């Protein structure tokens, strides 16, 4: 291990190393030749798995043709234009226009800036605030981490930036947020009543948007109760607040539909962020979408000020866009969306069987994204100190050849590549069940 490498999102004093040297299909291989199922698609991103020759060839061809081609000041290339058209067709944002970046974080930063640009363009300089939720993850750059609702990503980093005007509201996490014996619907009504009170006290005219992951991924795979999104979006509409769907994890088939907002009952977002599975992680790329009329207002504003002063060197990198186009073609051509929906039904049904296990508090998910929340006490829902229970299961799963991730403290997340088969799901379930049983035996010995 080199001492000159700073690992991202890691306890820098307790690094558990695992050198990955290869991958094929849903599997990766370590430097000792041991094979693992990549149960989290890397970091929720390798939708088509590893070693996809078509994507490798597409990237190589694009690089040979023009190793770099950009979009500044009117330069353009076919892959960017075609990918924008494809996304316009696919995204449920009304008459969507898209802007490219490199990561989910920079995509969210872009939309924070576009909200401000729009406010100026339309003569509403006060309409800049954004409501974000607790326990949310929207990325790690300065604006995106300010939106994120996890103290570890803000504390000691000088965040959130107050000038961004970010307001915080409840996470729709019934299992951890339920008060007394309230039902799911009562829980939803309570947290949305708090939201409405907050909107009214801030002044609806000062609030531009509400950002949400349709299913919160990195902080525990939180699946909102069924009534939450329809009621939330109706409330936002009442006050003219945009719904911003952060689909960095849930986009492109993950939840059983092309976009998670459709699965969760918020089918017409005004803004959308995508990345990760857009290229199946074969090349970094993000695409954010705004409604057509928002784009039109930007054009007007640009007419006044002379420039749209935002863009990354790699906004619309030609290789990234070529890989994105090919990825979307493969998803449709090879029935990957359909496979994710069908295999997702099986994954959820199989994982649900663990709900009775003495170490399992809750099993939740949609499509091919799920979590099993490990608890020390099923009655009180108390977690193990220091995440011990979940981390133990994680370690045994790894020994069994299954890579998972502990999210939100004690929720073991599943997010396998969308090319998975029923037999491979059975294998995940066997490996995971054994890891749970071994951990329970150790903890009760």
Give residues in contact with ligand PLP (CB under 6 A). 103-105, 108, 137-140, 213, 217-218, 246, 248-249, 275
Both tokens of 71, joined, read 């979009």
Residue 190 · residue 169 · CB < 8 Å:
no
DSSP type of residue 164: G
Least distance CB 286 / ligand PLP (angstroms): 7
How many Cβ atoms sit within 10 Å of the Cβ of residue 3? 5
User: Residue 136 CB, nearest distance to ligand PLP (Å)?
Assistant: 8
Specify burial of residue 380 (Cβ count, 10 A radius: 0-12, 13-18, 19+).
exposed
Determine the distance from the C-alpha atom of residue 137 to the mean position of all C-alpha atoms in its chain, rounded to a whole number.
8
Q: Which is nearer to ligand PLP, 92 or 389 (CB)?
A: 92
Strand runs labelled E in 123-217 = 129-133, 166-169, 207-212
Of 11, 26, 18, 1, give the one whose Cα is nearest residue 425: 26
Q: Which is nearer to ligand PLP, 252 or 440 (CB)?
A: 252
- Measured distance CA(244)–CA(287) in Å, rounded: 13
Residue whose C-alpha is closest to residue 242's, from 94, 384, 382, 71: 94
CB of 257 to ligand PLP, least distance (A): 16
> Which is closer to ligand PLP, CB of 286 or CB of 318?
286
Closest CA to 91 of 220, 216, 262: 262
Measured distance CA(312)–CA(161) in Å, rounded: 21
| Nearest CB to ligand PLP, comparing residues 213 and 270 | 213
Return the residue nearest ligand PLP (CB atom): 104
Which residue lies nearer to ligand PLP by CB, 251 or 389? 251
Closest CB to ligand PLP among residues 121, 143: 143
Our CB check for ligand PLP shows the closer of 23 and 217 to be 217
Whole-angstrom distance, CA of residue 326 vs CA of residue 24: 19
Phi, psi of 221 (to 5 degrees): 45, 70
Two tokens, residue 302: 């640009």
Question: How many residues in total does the chain contain?
Answer: 445
Element spanning 189, H or E: helix 184-202
Residue 211 or 375: which CB sits closer to ligand PLP? Answer: 211
C-alpha to C-alpha distance for 72 and 100, rounded to whole angstroms: 12
Least distance (Å) between residue 242 CB and ligand PLP: 17
Tokens 């370690």 sit on residue: 395
Please, what is the minimum distance in Å from the beta carbon of residue 225 to ligand PLP?
A: 20
CA angle 125, 129, 131 (to 5 degrees): 160
Nearest approach in angstroms of CB 42 to ligand PLP is 11
State in angstroms the smallest separation of the CB of 122 from ligand PLP: 27
Taking the least distance from each CB to ligand PLP, the nearer of 140 and 336 is 140
Sign for the pseudo-dihedral over CA of 6, 9, 15, 18? negative
The HSE-up count of residue 203 (CA atoms within 13 Å, CB side) is 7
For residues 198 and 235, what is the distance between their CA atoms, to the nearest angstrom?
12
Question: Which H/E stretch holds residue 295?
Answer: helix 292-305
Looking at the Cβ atoms of 213 and 350, the one nearer to ligand PLP is: 213
Return the number of the residue (45 or 195) whose C-beta is nearest ligand PLP.
Answer: 45
């Amino acid at each position: 291990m080199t001492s000159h490498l700073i690992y991202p999102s890691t306890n820098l004093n307790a690094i558990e190393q695992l050198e990955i040297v290869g991958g094929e299909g849903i599997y990766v291989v370590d430097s000792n030749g041991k094979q693992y199922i990549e149960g989290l698609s890397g970091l929720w991103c390798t939708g088509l798995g590893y070693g996809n020759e078509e994507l490798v060839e597409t990237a190589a061809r694009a690089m040979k043709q023009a190793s770099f081609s950009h979009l500044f000041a009117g330069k353009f290339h076919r892959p960017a234009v075609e990918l924008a058209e494809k996304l316009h067709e696919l995204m449920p944002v009304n008459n969507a226009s898209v802007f490219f970046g490199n990561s989910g974080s920079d995509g969210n930063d872009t939309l924070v800036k576009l909200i401000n640009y729009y406010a100026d363009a339309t003569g509403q300089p006060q309409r800049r605030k954004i409501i974000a939720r607790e326990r949310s993850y929207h990325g790690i750059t300065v604006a995106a981490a300010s939106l994120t609702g996890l103290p570890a990503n803000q504390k000691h980093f000088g965040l959130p930036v107050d000038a961004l005007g970010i307001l915080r509201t409840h996470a729709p996490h019934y299992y951890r947020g339920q008060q007394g014996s309230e039902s799911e619907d009562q829980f939803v009504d309570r947290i949305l009543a708090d939201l409405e009170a907050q909107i009214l006290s801030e002044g609806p005219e000062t609030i531009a948007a509400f950002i949400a992951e349709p299913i919160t991924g990195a902080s525990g795979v939180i699946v909102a109760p069924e009534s939450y999104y329809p009621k939330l979006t109706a409330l936002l509409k009442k006050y003219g607040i945009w719904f911003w769907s952060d689909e960095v994890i849930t986009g492109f088939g993950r939840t059983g539909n092309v976009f998670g907002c459709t699965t969760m009952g918020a089918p017409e977002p005004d803004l959308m962020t995508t990345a990760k599975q857009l290229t199946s992680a074969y090349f970094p790329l993000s695409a954010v979408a705004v409604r057509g009329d928002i784009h039109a207002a930007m054009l007007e504003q640009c007419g006044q000020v002379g420039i749209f002063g935002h863009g990354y060197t790699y906004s619309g990198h030609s290789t990234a866009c070529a890989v994105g186009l090919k990825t979307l073609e493969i998803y449709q051509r090879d029935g990957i969306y359909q496979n994710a929906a069908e295999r997702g039904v099986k994954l959820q049904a199989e994982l649900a069987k663990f709900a009775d296990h003495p170490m399992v508090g809750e099993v939740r998910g949609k499509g091919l994204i799920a979590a099993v929340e490990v608890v020390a006490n099923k009655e009180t829902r108390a977690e193990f100190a220091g995440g011990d229970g979940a981390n133990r299961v994680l370690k045994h799963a790894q020994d069994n050849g299954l890579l998972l991730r502990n999210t939100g403290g004690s929720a073991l997340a599943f997010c396998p590549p969308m090319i998975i088969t029923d037999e491979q799901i059975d294998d995940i379930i066997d490996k995971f069940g054994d890891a749970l049983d071994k951990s329970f035996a150790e903890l009760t010995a």
